[in-house]
């Protein structure tokens, strides 16, 4: 129960990790869940009844996300430097 979530799905007081591995796991799980939620929020823009967008817009958004995933892999598998976040349609 590193992330403070009980088996029943109820939120409990977070338990502080006591080692580097435990801290990594807790942060990785939390941040990955947050990233997935953000991607799902972006996907909601696919509602054509509410938004007007082109295929080019979709490719730009997907390309930006793919680029960040590639940067994440490179940074975690080596000692890569931080990159600047820059995205515009």
Residues 1-54: pLDDT tens digits? 444 444 444 555 565 657 999 999 999 999 999 999 999 999 999 999 999 999
Nearest to 17 by CA among 37, 40, 1, 33: 1
pLDDT at 6: 44
Q: Which residues of 76-88 are buried (b: 16+ CB within 10 A; e: fewer)?
A: eeeeeeeeeeeee
Q: What's the rounded mean pLDDT across residues 60-86?
A: 85
Q: Write down the domain spans for the chain.
A: 1-52, 54-89
pLDDT at 30: 97
Q: Which two tokens stand for residue 87?
A: 């995205």
Nearest to 69 by CA among 32, 15, 18, 22: 32
């Amino acid at each position: 129960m590193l992330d403070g979530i009980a088996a029943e799905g109820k939120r409990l007081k977070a338990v502080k990790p006591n080692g580097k591995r435990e801290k990594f796991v807790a942060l990785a799980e939390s941040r990955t869940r947050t990233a997935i939620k953000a991607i799902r929020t972006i996907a909601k823009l696919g509602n054509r009844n509410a938004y007007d967008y082109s295929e080019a817009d979709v490719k730009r958004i997907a390309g930006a996300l793919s680029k960040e995933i590639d940067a994440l892999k490179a940074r975690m598998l080596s000692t890569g430097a931080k990159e600047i976040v820059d995205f515009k349609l």
